[in-house]
Amino acid sequence: MKLRLTVFFVVLAAALPHAQNSTPLDTNAIAQAFGVPGQLQGDVYKVTLPRGDLSVTVGGVKIRAGLALGSWAAFRRAGNDAVAHGDLVLLDREVNPVISALQAGHIDITAVHNHLLDETPHLEYVHFWGRGREADLATTLKSALAKTATPMAAAAPAAAADFPQADAIQKALGKTGTVKNGVLGVAVPRPEKITMMGVELPPSMGMAISMNFQAAGDGRVASTGDFVLTADEVNAVARALRQHDIAITALHNHMVHGSPDLYFMHFWALGAPDAVGSGLRAALDATAAR
């Protein structure tokens, strides 16, 4: 009898983690709270809100919203709760009203910083983390975004692939991506299991190396994004970028209580498609994500 009870409790204990995560993410509650539909990527529901209201230039290059102006929030189920992580693209005057609105709904900030250099107007990026009911998290984020001029409407259908340099970039980079509204986006996942606050974050929750590209006139392309790095990779990647005349625009954290300890290196590249792709390939080769 004791043996049977022991087996029963072992089986029950093994089943509990699965049972705690068996409730599906309430994507309808998220979409209704935002008033904007998101996209399901595996078990992550992601809402992207480009700052189409802003006209931003970097070194004379007018950047598309999809290059570096996309606020986003990603939701995932974690036991009996949902978690939300992402970052918001903000003007300087919007930063603290947005932080106060997040705090009012019990959403924490995990970073406040730049991603670009020499942009006009100046931008800051506020990264956040929340845990609770999906509807509550989404409602708080919607209230925070109401402190900004962020368009709260469904994105227009993707334009035709109007980026002819994309093939040359992908060939030089050795990676393929997706062209949407004139921007080529390439995401390269890291091999490690990444967690924050004890919750696993898949690549779609901002844990992939991200590289975006757009045309910049005179046959050139502009690229920006960030490398997700371990401490030992930071300076190897920095050297590879600078050896290829790619600017390092920021190095910082995006997470609090993250594991492993990761650093996020943002960059800006401007030049011929094959040169930009080759330079980023060299930096990528200095990481475990290659």
**Residue 67, both tokens:** 């290059």
Give me the helices (H) in the chain, please: 2-20, 27-34, 65-68, 95-104, 134-145, 166-173, 234-243, 273-284
Above 90 in pLDDT, residue 155? no
Residue 126, phi-psi category: left (phi > 0), alpha (psi -120 to 50), beta (remainder): beta
Which residues are CB-neighbours of 10 under 8 A, at least 6 positions away? none
The model carries a pTM of 0.90
For residues 224 and 23, the model is more confident at 224
Residue 181, phi-psi category: left (phi > 0), alpha (psi -120 to 50), beta (remainder): left
Tokens 């009898």 sit on residue: 1
Q: ∠ at Cα 74 (68, 80), nearest 5°?
A: 165
Above 60 in pLDDT, residue 8? no
For the chain, give every domain's residue range.
24-156, 157-290
- Is cis: bond before 121, omega within 30 of 0? yes
Above 50 in pLDDT, residue 17? no
Chain mean pLDDT for the chain: 91
Task: Dump pLDDT digits (tens) for 79-112.
Answer: 999 999 999 999 999 999 999 999 999 999 999 9
- Is cis: bond before 97, omega within 30 of 0? no
Q: What is the DSSP letter of 111?
A: E
Rounded average pLDDT over 172-184:
95
pLDDT value of position 23: 85
Closest by CA to 146, choosing from 107, 88, 106, is: 88
Which residues are CB-neighbours of 150 under 8 A, at least 6 positions away? 49, 51, 53, 71, 88, 89
Q: How many CB atoms lie within 10 A of CB 231?
A: 10
Structure confidence at residue 7 as a pLDDT band (50, 70, 90): very low
Rounded average pLDDT over 266-284:
98
36-50, 108-122, 144-158 — which is least confidently predicted?
Answer: 144-158
Task: Dump pLDDT digits (tens) for 181-234.
Answer: 999 999 999 999 999 999 999 999 999 999 999 999 999 999 999 999 999 999
